Chain A
Amino acid sequence: DAGVTQSPTHLIKTRGQQVTLRCSPKSGHDTVSWYQQALGQGPQFIFQYYEEEERQRGNFPDRFSGHQYPNYSSELNVNALLLGDSALYLCASSLLSLGTDYGYTFGSGTRLTVV
């Protein structure tokens, strides 16, 4: 049973460029959340998608946008990259009907470096 799959695993981009990160949720899950983890920090919530709609959003600028497809996979797009966007980007999936008690399943992340 495949867990959460994220691609690519590593990425180097130049300031001002745009990037797209991809996530396939765990089989049977319908909800996808994205988190940003800077070095030495805990993951910070970016947004959550359910039924192809953004359900919740954290304190991130509009440069961060996302999408969820009918097969529940998701993309995170970041425009006009800044050096401060360098971080590990984590995707987490869950089944909305189960609730928080069962936790969210995280992928291994995409390491984004902005130079």
Chain B
Amino acid sequence: DQQVKQNSPSLSVQEGRISILNCDYTNSMFDYFLWYKKYPAEGPTFLISISSIKDKNEDGRFTVFLNKSAKHLSLHIVPSQPGDSAVYFCAASEGSNYKLTFGKGTLLTVNP
């Protein structure tokens, strides 16, 4: 039973355009959501988080949107750069410092 789903295994965008990565969840008890980026042979790197009391959080080129009624979140990267090419994981937890439940990831390729 997958509680966090990333339905797009891959996404390809042109440099300078917007990348939108999507994530759906089924557990209504999740109240923290995080995005991680992973390069080959490296561990996941924390990008940005959002708690359920917010619907948007920005950090530089990265913005995460949360739609609690739809149990959906998305990560927007603007503008996309070739160095953004990596696997992006969506993760969620029930409460602060609780275990993270990850999606399967989306491979983003940004073409020059």
Contacts and interface: CB of A to CB of B under 8 A. Distances in A.
A108 B43 contact: yes
Contacts of A107: 43
Contacts of B93: 100
Which of B42, B45, B46 has its CB near the most chain A CB atoms (within 10 A)? B46
A18 interface: no
A44 B102 contact: yes
Given A48-B99, A99-B96, A100-B49, A42 B104 contact: yes
A99 B97 CA distance: 5
B41 interface: yes
Contacts of B46: 102-106
Interface residues of B, number: 27
Which of B42, B51, B102, B103 has its CB near the most chain A CB atoms (within 10 A)? B102
Interface string B68-108: 00000000000000000000010101011111111111000
B99 A100 contact: no
A83 to B, nearest CB: 21
A104 to B, nearest CB: 7
Contacts of A58: 99
A90 interface: yes
A23 to B, nearest CB: 11
A42 B89 contact: yes
5 tightest A-B CB contacts, nearest first:
A103-B46, A42-B102, A106-B43, A99-B96, A45-B99
19 contacts: A33-B99, A33-B100, A35-B102, A40-B104, A41-B104, A42-B4, A42-B104, A42-B105, A45-B101, A92-B43, A99-B96, A100-B95, A101-B32, A103-B34, A103-B36, A105-B46, A106-B45, A107-B43, A108-B42
